Chain A
Amino acid sequence: MYVYDEYDQKIVEERVKQFRDQTRRYLAGELSGEEYRPLRLQNGLYIQRYAPMLRIAVPYGLLNTKQVRKLAQIARDYDKGYAHVSTRQNFQFNWPELEEIPDILAELATVQMHAIQTSGNCIRNTTTDQFAGVAADELVDPRPWCEIIRQWSTFHPEFAHLPRKFKIAVNGAKMDRAAIEVHDIGLEAVKNEAGELGFRVLVGGGQGRTPYVGAFIKDFLPWQHLLTYLEAILRVYNRYGRRDNKFKARIKILVKALGENVFAEKVEAEWAYLKDGPSMLIEAEVERVSKFFVDPAYEALEDQSEALAKLEAEHPGFARWRTRNTFPHKKPGYIAVTLSLKPIGTAPGDITDKQLDAVADLADRYSFGELRTSHTQNIILADVRQDQLFTLWNELRENGFATPNVGLLTDMICCPGGDFCSLANAKSIPVAESIQRRFDDLDYLFDIGDIDLNISGCMNACGHHHVGHIGILGVDKKGEEFYQVSLGGYAGRDASLAKILGPSFAQEEMPDVIEKIINVYVGQRTEDERFIDTYRRIGIEPFKERVYAKNH
């Protein structure tokens, strides 16, 4: 993974110093709460219900074990012994003291980490495929491009105060596991007929209050022009994005208002001035950054299909786990493993300090000392030898990481919700837990198969409910918490937004409602048909009828 040089290190150290002074001025009354707000947000610091929440950047989800051990130590020393993986591949701490945040940042800087631009109206952490660099279906490794974008977007002076937050995602594989179509900018690395590398560029996707699937405005942007083109898009947005209403300030609203063609023309006109300027990328820089993402020292191995099949016959639990929690690797004899952070009874994405230390230890022993976080709030060991898979499974079980539910109903995306977040209209974690408890039969879960259930505690949609096959949104009705259900969302290639099923439900009704929806699917599906495909075939009506039937 990328290693800081003196310049990168200097920037994070100067940031610590700057933020320490900003916090000092706030505590001394030299900055009002209102004035401190945009400053702290751009450093990932929220003032929450009970305590501040600090969001730490994990650029495109990559971590080394030194960093993970540092996170464990911070969880112990400054928090209540746990951390949370966010839906933007970042880490969050829910209980730090405001006065200690600068010290936490100083600790992070010693392991090349920071909290820069993890919130606020600026360019956020660029995200990508959690299997980048190892996926068998990958065409281009997105990680060097994510790092190039990270550096370009870090303290970009012109885009320090955008109309609203701005999220970029990059995909380089056949499948889109980075949900690029629901980002402010989605980039798909592609090759043209001549074999040259470039990007398909999408703008104006996004979730939140008014969700949109974005529009592709450029089919092939040669890689040299990546930064100048991004700069052109951001400049058009910075100048013309709405600032009078924060609910209409995302770029998606501007793209809709102008129409994607007019928006694209404005970008082209701006880009014409920038494209051959000094920000045009050069081969030497791409090479410099790419060198950090070359393959680790893989051994020449063979796939272990037979040996694994034999183990599976003896250990049905291993078989079950391998079906759900592993992912094909580009190298023979290797496999990528997902550690589920969704056991029943734990808030989705939560991980304790001890578990963090254990993960670091496992990554050192099984996966070249690196790991990844996913936007589905799990952790990945990307480079595991197949001949060590069984022993790893046993270790994962001891540490609570082996729940075999990746991609299943109980592997929910879920925001922290009203238990922590001051924006939330409703709690989300208890709803997730009540559904997990209802569907605690593994055989049944496996039978239901692939399904994305996403829960947000408010319309800001941190839990990605718009793109869940089943989406749940917490709403406030006259001071009471209710839950609106939607169906048919899809975050992958040819993304779609979920449709609202009907009137919302009380919290205690939710397990029944989800069960009825699942029953309709199970009754209607054809052999091997996934939930989303059945939904697309039969539409929303049969679900509506069952869920709202008077005497069921």
Chain B
Amino acid sequence: MQKIIKGREIVTDNWHLLPKETTFEEIPNTDNVIIPVALWLEHGHALTTRDGRLGVWLDSDEEPESIADSLEHFQVIAINFPAFTDGRGFSYARLLRERFGYKGEIRAIGDVLQDQLYFMQRCGFDAYVIRADRDPEAALAGLNDFTVTYQTGADQPQPLFRRRLA
């Protein structure tokens, strides 16, 4: 099983990410799976009676609004970064946390490297699958790049200009 960053630690992952081309029939009953969002949108509640736990993943062009009403069914929402420089997922995570109130795990998948982690954590991510050719242990340092933040974020409800007054 692969190692991922969860919170601020390295843990062994116990989820299976199912690729986009997966069909409904291929979804195992007992495993903990993260399914492509399209499968959820098509089959929805048929998936809530499985024995295994359920997560869903969004590609960078798949909008979080589509699952905003079904968040209670997911233990994990994964957001794909097809490229390091594709920043759409940052907005998606903030919306899931701050607007839709999702409390479960939000994990970054895809081209995920040390130097995005600080921003990701501020946007509401709390799990990171570091790209397979890189060491997640080394990447952990990225979470601590800065100790001061100007803006609000999923990690900080007040902007610095309000905190400065306190």
Interface of A is mostly: helix
Q: Across the two chains, which residue of chain B brings its CB closest to A148?
A: B161
Report yes or no: A38 in contact with B123, Cβ–Cβ below 8 A. Answer: no
Query: Does A444 interact with chain B (Cβ within 8 Å)?
Result: no
Smallest Cβ distance from A76 to chain B, in angstroms? 31
A158/B145 in contact, CB under 8 A: no
Q: B94 is contacted by which of A35, A121, A158, A282 (Cβ under 8 Å)? A: A158
Chain B hits for A159, CB < 8 A: 87, 90
Q: Which of A112-152 contact B (CB under 8 A)?
A: 121, 148, 151-152
Pick the contact of A279: B87, B113, B151, B165 (CB < 8 A): B151
Total number of residue pairs linking A and B with CB closer than 8 Å: 101
Chain B residues positioned under 8 Å from A163 (CB to CB): 87
Q: Is the CB of A238 within 8 A of B91?
A: yes
CB of A161 within 8 A of CB of B161, answer: no
B88 within 8 A of partner (CB): yes
Against A, the Cβ 8 Å flags (1 = close, 0 = not) of B13-51 are: 000000000000000000000000000000000000000
Query: Does the CB pair A157–B119 fall under 8 Å?
Result: yes
Interface centre among A235, A243, A281, A288, by most chain B C-beta atoms within 10 angstroms, is A243
Known: A18-B145, A39-B115, A273-B99. A278 touches B160 (CB 8 A): no
CA A243 to CA B115, docked complex, whole Å: 20
By a CB distance below 8 angstroms, the chain B residues around A390 are none
Are the CB atoms of B94 and A288 closer together than 8 Å? no
Segment of A6-14, A423-431, A509-517, A538-546 engaged in the interface with chain B: A6-14
Q: Are A161 and B86 in contact (CB under 8 A)?
A: yes
- Whether a CB of chain A sits under 8 angstroms from the CB of B12 is no
Q: Is the CB of B146 within 8 A of A158?
A: no
> Across the two chains, which residue of chain B brings its CB closest to A273?
B99
Q: Count contacts on B: residues with CB < 8 A to the other chain.
A: 36
**Are A35 and B84 interface neighbours, CB within 8 A?**
yes
Closest to B113 in A: A35
- Chain A residues with Cβ under 8 A from B88's Cβ? 238-239, 243
A35 to B139, CA, bound (A): 14
- Assembled-state Cα–Cα distance A238/B88 (Å): 6
Q: Are B90 and A160 in contact (CB under 8 A)?
A: yes
Question: A277 to chain B: which residues have CB within 8 Å?
Answer: 152
| A-contact 0/1 string along B82-114, CB 8 Å cutoff | 001111101100100001000000000000010
Q: Which 8 A-B pairs have the closest CB atoms?
A: A161-B87, A157-B122, A285-B161, A157-B119, A160-B119, A158-B90, A151-B150, A10-B148
Question: What are 20 A-to-B residue pairs whose CB atoms are below 8 Å?
Answer: A5-B164, A7-B164, A11-B150, A14-B146, A14-B147, A18-B145, A22-B115, A121-B85, A156-B150, A157-B149, A158-B87, A158-B90, A158-B123, A161-B90, A227-B159, A239-B88, A273-B99, A277-B152, A278-B158, A281-B161
Q: In the complex, given contacts A35-B113, A235-B91, A239-B91, what are 16 additional A-B residue pairs having Cβ atoms less than 8 angstroms apart? A: A5-B164, A14-B148, A18-B145, A152-B150, A155-B150, A158-B119, A158-B153, A160-B87, A160-B90, A161-B90, A161-B116, A162-B87, A163-B87, A238-B91, A282-B161, A285-B162
> Which positions in A face B, CB cutoff 8 Å?
5, 7, 10-11, 14-15, 18, 21-22, 35, 38-39, 121, 148, 151-152, 154-163, 227, 235, 238-239, 243, 273, 277-279, 281-282, 284-285, 288
B: residues with CB less than 8 A from A are: 63, 84-88, 90-91, 94, 99, 113, 115-116, 118-120, 122-123, 141, 145-153, 157-162, 164-165
